[in-house]
Every structure is written in C-alpha cells, then in structure tokens.
Amino acid sequence: MTGFSFDAVAAILFIPAGAAAILAVLPNYRMTAVVNVIASLLTLLAALSLFVTDRPAPGQYLLVDDLNIVFIVLNTFVGFTTSVFSASYIAHELETGRLTAPNLRFYHAMYQIMMFGMNLAFVSNNIGLMWVAVELATLTTVLMVGIYRTHEALEAAWKYFILGSVGIALALFGTILVYMAAQPVVGEGTNAMVWSVLIEKAAHFDPALLSVAFIFLLLGYGTKVGLAPLHAWLPDAHAEGPTPISAVLSGLLLNVALYAVLRFKLLLAASPQAIGPGPLMATMGLTSLIFAAFMLYRRRDIKRLFAYSSIEHMGIIVFAFGMGGPLANFAGLLHMVMHSLTKSAIFFAVGHIAQVKGTQKISEIRGLTESHPGLGWALVIGVVAIAGLPPLGIFMSEFLVVSSTFARYPWLAIPLVFGLLIAFGALLLRLTGLAFGEPRGGMAPVEASYVPMYSHLALVFAAGIYLPAPLVAWFQHVAGILG
C-alpha cells in the first residue's frame, strides 16, 4: 500500500459492481466464467483484508464492526467457491442446451450484482440503504430463478417475487416506523436512519412504536429468512433455479435477511420498555424447525428436500438468537457458519448429481456411492453433517443450542430435540436410498469440480474436531455484542 490507502470496504463493493458491468458486455462464456471466479476471489481477498487494515469510522452510510465482518467473510468465501462450482456446472448446462450463451452473460452479470447487493446490505450503516440492498439482492435472485423459462421455473420465480416483494414492503414499513420512533429524539434527516446513532439513543425511543416496527421488520425480513408461515417461496425457488443459485440462496441470502433481523433485534434490546424480541424469534424459529422437520418426509425432489432442510436450520439459528445470552448466541453464530458451508457443499454435490442422472426425483436416484463415488460420498458426508451427527461441525453447534436451552428453559428443549430428531430421521432415510443400493439412473462419468464441495466439508469436519482459540474468542466477542 504505497501512496494510496487501500479501502477494503470500497473494494468489496466496487469489485462486484465493476465485474458485473464487464460481464454484461463480454461475449465469450468461457471468459465470463473465469472473470466471475476472479472477481469473486478478489472480493474474498478484499474481505479478508478487513482483518488487517484499519476499519473506517462508521459513516452515515457504511459501517464495519465486529458483527458484520463474520457475515462478510462468510459471504464472500461461499460466493467464491460457488463461482468455481458454477463454472463447471454452467459448462454442462450449455452443452445440454438448457442455457444459451446470452443467458449466461445475463447469469454472470446477475451473479455479481447479487454479490454486490449482499455485501452492501452487510456493510450498510443506514437502515434505508440496507433495505435497498436487500431488495436488490432479492430481485437478482428472482431473475436467476426464472432463467430456465420452464413452467416450473416461472411459477417458482413468480411465487418468490410476489412473496418476496410483500415481505420487503412490510420491512420498508417497519423501517419507516423506526425512523418515526427515532425522529423526535435524534432529529430529522439522515441521522435518524443511521444504525450506529440509533443504537446509542434507542433507550429514549417511543417503545410502543419501536415494538410495532419490529413486528413488521420480523415479518418482512423473516419472509426472506424463510421462517415457517412465510416460507412458501423457498422450496420452489431452490428447486427450479440453477443449482449454484440454490447454493447461494441457502448459504448466503437467508443470512442477509437474518443479519437485518439481528441488527433490529439489537435496537429493540437497547430499549428496555419495548417488547422483548427474543420470545417472538424463538417461537418463529421453533415453529419453522418442527414444521420443516415433518415436511422433510414427504419430499420427492432432491433439491426440495434440502430446501426444507434449510428452513429447518434457519429455524434453529433464529431460535438460538431468540434465546439470546452469550452461549446461545455463540451457538447460533457457529450454526449459521456451519450451515452455510455444509448446505452449499450439499447443493454443489446435488447439482452434479442431477446433471448426471438427468433428474431431480429422489426415487430415480440410487446407489450413488457405487456409480459416482466422488459425488456419492460428498453427499453422504454432507447429509451426515447437516443431520447433526458427530464429529462434524453442525453436531457441535446443535449440541450447544440444545444444552444452552436445557440450562435455561428446559421445557423448550423438549420440542427442540423432538424437531431435531424428526429431521434427523427423515434425512438419513432419504440418504440411504440415494447413496446406497443398486445404482440407478445415468451412469456417465462426471466432470465435477470436487474442490469447492470437499473444501467446505473439510472445514466443517475440522470445526467439529477442533475450533482454533482465536476463532472461539472472536465468536464469543461477537456473541457478547449480540446480547
């Protein structure tokens, strides 16, 4: 860094935005796939540099603090590995003619705009800007879900669009109410939307107005998290879009909405007279968990199966954050990271599996470990991890959630453990059919990119065995911030 100061925040915003502009005009699809990977890698490096460079002071629009760094690094990391997976996945789609070259140009440009939107949502210090960024990320994924232009893809995109827009409209109303609550205390103008200002003065806000605002925000952003009564878009969007998009939806976009909920939860927690956000979140989380666990049994489509599993895990995470306290927050944070890594790895495997088998129907896929050992075992490890078996990372985070629940509200642990066991049974039941037995379906060898999925799984495995002390300290610190 000689001569000029390196601005990491600007880099994680401008690299995706610039890349999107370039990708929109590049004609050659091989080149666009490579540019997509490079841009994602650069964004990841810029995000990692946030650890070493000085953090900018919170401005009116942008903010970097200990909380959002976790999200940014996770987001850019999974964004990078998904772009690597996407390159090999998309090459196959082009060969089979499901996508055309102009589609791809559009796809890659949208991918980078989506990364831009998500990164912007994380670094924004302004609740209005955050709302715009979440809307942008949603809109791009809607377009990508509909990219195959089949009946199913269009219905999925339409449903996603309608439910997503209603969610986002409710979130905007909540945002306006927060402004109304802040305005008498902070004064008119931009300052009354700046999160770091709001959090300092939240204790003086009108508690009733703030409570109503939070309910709108929880419903609005909760739609995007995929919480139970509002989840209807999620399985369709996962099943019908391109698989890299399923991976980023589950692994990243749900986290963006969750992050927004967490920011507002902090705001509410700072106002003693307002309703407690915890019980609301815990109830919604628990409902999602149990509902999704039962829904897992009736799935016949492999991508839908894992979409419901995402609802289940978001339920666990929201429940953990709803419980609050250092231990539960730590568990929720760890679970979120583990879930993102595992679920995107599973979708990487599922994407290749669906391509070689030519179908997404669970009943037509059998004996993967024999026909395609590389993919089959990745799926086995992934599902074992997501079901919460030791020694993988999710076991540890789920164990922490359960034990902290037992310690504080033992009667809540009963439905929690019940839901976990139901989901566990469903996943293992489906896994035995998919992975073992007589191979069925397409047997063609596969040119898969194993690196992204196995690197994710290795990280999850390593986290299950041993968490480095600095990481634990860091997460504990963040859990402390979350209150």
Partner 1 sequence: MNGLTFDIAHLLAGSLVLISFMMLYQDRLFALINVFALHAVVLALSVAWQAYIQDAHHLYITAGIALVFKAIVIPVGLHRIIQRLGIHRDIETAVGIGPTMLAGIGLVTLSMVLMLRVTPEADPLAREDLAFALSIILLGLLVMVTRRNAVSQVVGFMSLENGLVLAATGAKGMPLVVEISVAFSILIAFIVIGVFLFRIRERFDSVDVGALDDYRGERR
- Which of 94, 166, 362, 459 binds partner 1 (CB under 8 A)? It is 166
User: Does residue 211 belong to the site contacting partner 1 (CB under 8 A)?
Assistant: yes
The dihedral built from the CA positions of residue 25, 29, 33 and 38, taken in this order, carries a sign that is negative
Quote the least distance from Cβ 50 to partner 1, whole Å. 26
Which residue blocks in 296-409 are alpha helix, DSSP H?
302-323, 326-357, 368-371, 373-387, 393-408
Which residue, 48 or 180, has its beta carbon nearer to partner 1? 180
Nearest CA to 310 among 353, 261, 257? 257
Quote the least distance from Cβ 354 to partner 1, whole Å. 14
Nearest CA to 305 among 420, 428, 216, 403? 428
Residues 227-256 that bind partner 1 (CB under 8 A): 235-236, 239
360 phi/psi in degrees, rounded to 5: -110, 5
Using CB under 8 A as the criterion, what x/- string covers residues 358-387 for binding partner 1? ---x--------------------------
Cα–Cα distance measured from residue 248 to residue 445, given in angstroms and rounded to the nearest whole number: 26
Q: Which amino acid, residue 144?
A: M
| Cα R_g (the chain), whole angstroms | 21
167-206 burial by CB neighbour count: b if 16+ within 10 A, else e?
bbebbbebbbbbbbbbbeebeeeebbbbbebbeeebeebb
Which residue, 148 or 319, has its beta carbon nearer to partner 1? 148
Within its chain, how far is the Cα of 155 from the centroid? 22
Which residue, 331 or 434, has its beta carbon nearer to partner 1? 434
User: Does residue 189 belong to the site contacting partner 1 (CB under 8 A)?
Assistant: yes
Using CB under 8 A as the criterion, what x/- string covers residues 300-339 for binding partner 1? xx--x-----------------------------------
Q: Kindly indicate which of the ranges 19-27, 165-173, 382-390, 413-421 contains the residues binding partner 1, using the contact rule CB under 8 A.
A: 165-173
Which residue, 95 or 152, has its beta carbon nearer to partner 1? 152
Cβ neighbours of 248 (radius 10 Å): 28
Cα–Cα distance measured from residue 456 to residue 459, given in angstroms and rounded to the nearest whole number: 5
CB of 286 closer than 8 Å to CB of 319: yes
Nearest CA to 114 among 255, 26, 45, 16? 16
User: Does residue 106 belong to the site contacting partner 1 (CB under 8 A)?
Assistant: no
Q: Which two tokens stand for residue 79?
A: 């964004």
- Which of 176, 269, 362, 459 binds partner 1 (CB under 8 A)? It is 176
User: Does residue 172 belong to the site contacting partner 1 (CB under 8 A)?
Assistant: yes
Q: Kindly indicate which of the ranges 114-122, 145-153, 255-263, 404-412 contains the residues binding partner 1, using the contact rule CB under 8 A.
A: 145-153
Cα–Cα distance measured from residue 282 to residue 258, given in angstroms and rounded to the nearest whole number: 13
User: Does residue 202 belong to the site contacting partner 1 (CB under 8 A)?
Assistant: no
Size of the site for partner 1 (CB under 8 A): 51
User: Does residue 183 belong to the site contacting partner 1 (CB under 8 A)?
Assistant: yes
Using CB under 8 A as the criterion, which residues of the chain lie in contact with partner 1 when the complex forms?
126, 128-129, 131-132, 135-136, 139, 143, 146, 149-152, 154-155, 157-158, 161-162, 165-166, 169-170, 172-173, 176-177, 179-180, 183-184, 188-190, 192-193, 206, 208-209, 211-212, 235-236, 239, 298-301, 304, 361
